[in-house]
Structure 1
């Protein structure tokens, strides 16, 4: 089976290499643009997922009220 795929790919590669450059460019872009868009979407969703989990862990470990850290009393440099 792999031998058949390898022969098909060799034939396709030879056909593509013999095409005029603008046709090669259009065919490659027609394949690579969607693949790159999907890859970017997957990476984006993955980073968002990791960031959401890290934010949830941070919120779970943070004090519920800012007064516990001494930040609820106001700032000394505030203008009244």
Structure 2
């Protein structure tokens, strides 16, 4: 299975490398922008939710502050 995947990736990489640069840019951005937005959304969601799971909220003062 991995041999087939690596062969496909090598073929795709060669195909992409032979394209005109603006076409390469558009194709890469069409994949990277949604992927990065999705990762940023998941990380933001985790940062908002994890403190509540461990009992820390934004309304509480940090320890040692008066």
TM-score if structure 1 supplies the norm length?
0.66
Larger Rg, first or second structure (1 or 2): 1
RMSD: 1.9
> What runs of 5+ residues in structure 1 fail to find an aligned partner?
59-80
- Structure 2, unaligned stretches of length 5 or more? 61-66
With structure 2 as the length reference, what TM-score do the two structures score? Answer: 0.80
Higher RCO (CA-CA < 8 Å; seq separation 6+): 2
Match of 2:4 in 1: 4
Q: What is the match of residue 30 of structure 1? A: 30
CA distance in structure 2 between the aligned counterparts of 1:10 and 1:33, rounded to whole angstroms: 23
Number of corresponding residues: 58
Moved over 3 A (4+): none
Tell me the CA shift for residue 31 of structure 1.
Answer: 0.2
